[in-house]
Structure 1
Amino acid sequence: MNDDMLHAYLQHHWAGSSAGVAMFERVGRSHSDTDVAVRVRQLAVEVDADREALRQIIEATGAAPSRIAATAGRAAELAGRLKPNGRVVRRSPLSDLFELEALLDAVAAKRAGWHLLRAATEGDVRVDPVLLDDLVRRADDQLARLEDLRLRVGRAVIGG
């Protein structure tokens, strides 16, 4: 096991998880459909718990979560708010849809990370394979719930 590569990989996902938590929290506050906002806030709690699981994995492998990576991830989330939505000053109804798609992308990347980590650390006693299996399953569930929300909002915005 190449610890340098493992730690670099984990730090990359730490940055992404920092951006993801910030994005979930923001969408949970700003989504125009209050029911969708409530559901995203519920997901935000889970995503934050997943980030804490990542912190524990990073520490178990002998590294520490990088403040620089976390700050870079949050900065990327801020930059990601700029999107061509056909409106300059006001929020576009497409923003609600684009944000859900960005949340889907974030969870899909998180799931991919858990899945690869599970395969790459097979036999490494520092990393709990049962925990990783649980995190993959939780990401699958989060993806399904987000896809339902995305389709609901997409039908309302594009079809409505």
Structure 2
Amino acid sequence: MTAVTTDVRLLSIYLEDHHALLGAVLARAGRLVASDSHLPGGTALREIRDVLTDDREALRALMDTLGSTPSAAKSLLAGVAERLGRLKPNGRLLERSPLSRVVELDALRAAVQDDAALWRVLGAIAETDDRISAADAAARTSRAQRQAQTVERLRVAAAVAALGGREAASAHRR
């Protein structure tokens, strides 16, 4: 059997990308929690934000183990992209549109799925690289998959409420 060696340089680049993305996602999640904590799912959104924070810290610890550091340039660009995403028209001029919650939940769902994908990759690499915990990667993958289901449920309910009216939202919750 051929031994597989981790390309630490490429793995570091991959981890830098995900670290920067998680930073932007946390900014978006924080905005969502701040504006929608009183709505159904507010507690779940806070928990998801906290778990993503934990995943980012674990990713940073892994980067430290590999001798890698987060990329300031990538983090800056991801942050700028997140802020630019807020500038799109939302159908309301002076107040928050119900569509804003839907779009933010769309982004959060994609980010949580990306988080699960990251940990699946790291779990596969852990089979040949003992610096990565296979058990931790598996637990984080599973947790992210559960979160994706929660975000999807919230996203659909928000979309129905925003696009289908109150009666449709009530019927969807039943």
- TM-score of the aligned structures, taking structure 2 as reference length: 0.84
Alpha-carbon distance in 1 for matches of 2:126, 2:136: 12
Q: 1:30 aligns with which of 27, 35, 39?
A: 35
Q: Following TM superposition, by how much is the alpha carbon of 1:122 offset from its aligned partner in structure 2, in angstroms? A: 2.5
Counterpart residue number, 1:111? 116
The alignment status of 1:46 with 2:47, answered yes or no, reads no
Alpha-carbon distance in 1 for matches of 2:48, 2:30: 9
Counterpart residue number, 2:169? none
Counterpart residue number, 1:98? 103
Amino acid at match of 1:83: K
- C-alpha distance after superposition, 1:122-150 (max 9, x if no partner): 21011111111011001001101111111
Q: Following TM superposition, by how much is the alpha carbon of 1:156 offset from its aligned partner in structure 2, in angstroms? A: 1.3
Let me know the Cα RMSD of the aligned residues. Answer: 1.7
**Counterparts of 1:120-159 in structure 2 under 5 Å?**
120-159=125-164
Contact 1:21-1:47 at 8 Å conserved across structures: yes
Alpha-carbon distance in 1 for matches of 2:33, 2:41: 8
**Which segment drifts farther, 79-88 or 137-146?**
79-88
Counterpart residue number, 1:7? 12
Counterpart residue number, 1:68? 73
Unmatched tracts of structure 1, length 5 or more: none
Contact 2:65-2:131 at 8 Å conserved across structures: yes
Q: 2:88 aligns with which of 80, 83, 88?
A: 83
- TM-score of the aligned structures, taking structure 1 as reference length: 0.90
Alpha-carbon distance in 2 for matches of 1:32, 1:48: 17
- C-alpha distance after superposition, 1:41-74 (max 9, x if no partner): 2211111011111111111112122333323222
Contact 1:13-1:113 at 8 Å conserved across structures: yes
Amino acid at match of 1:18: G
Q: Following TM superposition, by how much is the alpha carbon of 1:118 offset from its aligned partner in structure 2, in angstroms? A: 2.1
Q: Following TM superposition, by how much is the alpha carbon of 1:84 offset from its aligned partner in structure 2, in angstroms? A: 3.7
Alpha-carbon distance in 1 for matches of 2:37, 2:52: 21
Aligned residues: 160
Cα pair distance change 1:32/1:94, threshold 3 Å: farther
Q: Which of the pair has more CA radius of gyration? A: 2
Alpha-carbon distance in 2 for matches of 1:98, 1:66: 27
Cα pair distance change 1:139/1:3, threshold 3 Å: same
Alpha-carbon distance in 2 for matches of 1:110, 1:32: 23
